[in-house]
């Protein structure tokens, strides 16, 4: 490579997973080879303001993003770069960019909104497109799509926050349609177990609904299963590959936010101690779910393995999975023979390939007489 590719790494954002994003960004920035890439760190504050500059990640970790210049990506094709705010709102070019590596977990980053901006700007970016991102992010819609493709999922129902606020009793009755207790309440469009509650009674269920509704206007209620948690990493565009499966043994009652990021006591078993038939089924279902959502670049498929029946249930598909040093996505690929720095190279290559495909498409039609 004669010239280094210019990679913008976007992190932070208006999400309950803001802190997780900073942890992922730290690992991504540390594993992008500076001999191959000219790296531009770009942070988004909790209020949605964009900043960039030297040591941007540290400024965000210190809670001082205002010390950095304000920047923006413009949703205009042909201007593939980062622009700096000037006086009176004028823009000046701050950096040329060849590809964006989003590490923005959760809303306004993983749900198709950021991807829509990058599509408008006509710039290559790592990970799924608008459709895959938005469908996979909404747990209720995702489960409907899985059922349509005969991919097994647990029983679930959707409750709107307006229903919870207007008639709590009706909301609880609706939630109970998901199945017998225990039930899980979750914000439909959030990850990292933020706002997730395990409910064993009607009073628990009401509390769980109220808590989840703090984070999203749509709350999904899922049937609880006595299960092991199995995960598979997927990589690719039209011909995706699946990693060896791994298992998470959470330190908490379920894989909560605390168990994921705080107490450092959860156990990751790689490869998962499961029989070969179950492992192959997990890999098959992971690729099937990925293709059903028109996935691109990467995703992590999360399964529930019923301890009693041995049946696998698709739980979630994360289109921007965690990239911390303890995250399953890079660890599973490392166990499959692809080291973290090589994984970064592959993801950027896939982004450029996807953009090249789009660049060949016709944008005008002159066939009408």
Strand duo 81-85 + 91-96: pairing: antiparallel
Q: Please report, rounded to a whole number, the percentage of residues in the chain having pLDDT higher than 70.
A: 93
Q: Per residue in 114-168, pLDDT tens?
A: 999 999 999 999 999 999 999 999 999 999 999 999 999 999 999 999 999 999 9
When the candidates are 3.30.365.10, 3.30.470.20, 3.30.70.120, 3.40.50.300, the CATH number that belongs to 227-357 is 3.30.470.20
Contact call for residues 83 and 73 (beta carbons, < 8 A)? yes
DSSP E strands, the chain = 5-12, 37-44, 50-52, 71-72, 81-85, 91-96, 99-103, 124-125, 156-160, 183-187, 197-199, 218-223, 227-236, 241-242, 246-249, 267-269, 297-306, 312-318
Which letter does DSSP use for residue 103 in this model?
E
Listed in order, the ranges of the chain carrying CATH 3.30.470.20 are 227-357
Contact between residue 271 and residue 282 where contact means Cβ atoms under 8 Å apart: no
Span(s) in the chain for CATH 3.40.50.20: 5-125
Rounded alpha-carbon distances, angstroms, from residue 121 to 91, 100, 314, 349: 15, 11, 34, 19
CB 216 within 8 A of CB 15: no
Structure pTM? 0.91
Cβ atoms within 10 Å, residue 83: 18
pLDDT at 258: 56
Least confident of 18-22, 250-254, 275-279: 250-254
d(CA 245, CA 85): 46
DSSP-assigned letters across all residues of 223-279: E---EEEEEEEEEESSS-EE---EEEE-SSSSS-HHHHHTS---EEESS-S--HHHH
Checking if the pLDDT of 84 tops 50, the result is yes
**Average model confidence (pLDDT) across the chain:** 92
pLDDT at 369 over 50: no
Q: How far apart are the first and last CA of the chain?
A: 47
pLDDT at 3: 87
The pair of structure tokens assigned to 264 is 């450092």
Which is the CATH superfamily of the domain at 155-223?
ATP-grasp fold, A domain (3.30.1490.20)
Q: How far apart are CA 176 and CA 312, in angstroms?
A: 23
CATH fit for domain 5-125, picks 3.30.70.1520, 3.40.50.1000, 3.40.50.20, 1.20.140.10: 3.40.50.20
Residues contacting 277, CB < 8 A, separation 6+: none
Question: Where residue 1 falls among pLDDT bands split at 50, 70, 90?
Answer: very low
Q: Is the pLDDT of residue 259 over 60?
A: no
pLDDT in tens, 24-77: 999 999 999 999 999 999 999 999 999 999 899 999 999 999 999 999 999 988
What number of other Cβ atoms are within 10 A of residue 92's Cβ? 9
């Amino acid at each position: 490579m004669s010239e280094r590719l210019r990679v913008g790494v976007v992190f932070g954002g208006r999400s309950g997973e803001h802190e997780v994003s900073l942890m992922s960004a730290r690992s991504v920035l540390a594993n992008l080879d500076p001999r191959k890439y000219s790296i531009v760190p770009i942070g988004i504050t909790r209020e949605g303001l964009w900043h960039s500059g030297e040591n941007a990640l540290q400024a965000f970790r210190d809670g001082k993003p205002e010390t950095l210049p304000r920047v923006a990506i413009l949703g205009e094709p042909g201007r593939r770069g980062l622009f700096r705010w000037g006086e009176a709102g004028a823009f000046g070019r701050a950096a040329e960019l060849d590809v964006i590596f989003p590490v923005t977990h959760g809303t306004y980053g993983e749900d198709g909104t950021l991807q829509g901006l990058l599509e408008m700007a006509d710039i290559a970016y790592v990970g799924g497109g608008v459709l895959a991102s938005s469908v996979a992010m909404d747990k209720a819609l995702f489960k409907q799509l899985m059922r349509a493709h005969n991919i097994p999922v647990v029983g679930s129902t959707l409750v709107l926050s307006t229903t919870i606020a207007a008639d709590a009793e009706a909301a609880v009755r609706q939630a109970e349609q998901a199945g017998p207790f225990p039930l899980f309440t979750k914000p439909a469009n959030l990850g990292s177990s933020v706002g997730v509650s395990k409910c064993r009674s009607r009073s628990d269920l009401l509390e769980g609904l109220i808590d989840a509704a703090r984070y999203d206007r749509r709350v999904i209620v899922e049937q609880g299963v006595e299960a092991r948690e199995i995960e598979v990493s997927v990589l690719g565009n039209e011909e995706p590959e699946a990693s060896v499966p791994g298992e998470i043994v959470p330190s908490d009652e379920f894989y909560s936010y605390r168990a994921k990021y705080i107490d450092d006591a959860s156990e990751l078993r790689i490869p998962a101690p499961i029989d070969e038939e179950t492992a192959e089924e997990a890999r098959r279902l992971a690729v099937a779910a990925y293709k059903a959502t028109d996935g691109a670049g990467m995703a992590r498929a999360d399964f529930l393995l019923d301890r009693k029946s041995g049946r696998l249930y698709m739980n979630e598909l994360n289109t921007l999975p965690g990239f911390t040093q303890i995250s399953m996505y890079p660890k599973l690929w490392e166990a499959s023979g692809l080291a973290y720095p090589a994984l970064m190279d592959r993801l950027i290559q896939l982004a450029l390939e996807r953009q090249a495909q789009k660049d060949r498409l016709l944008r005008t039609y002159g066939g009408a007489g």
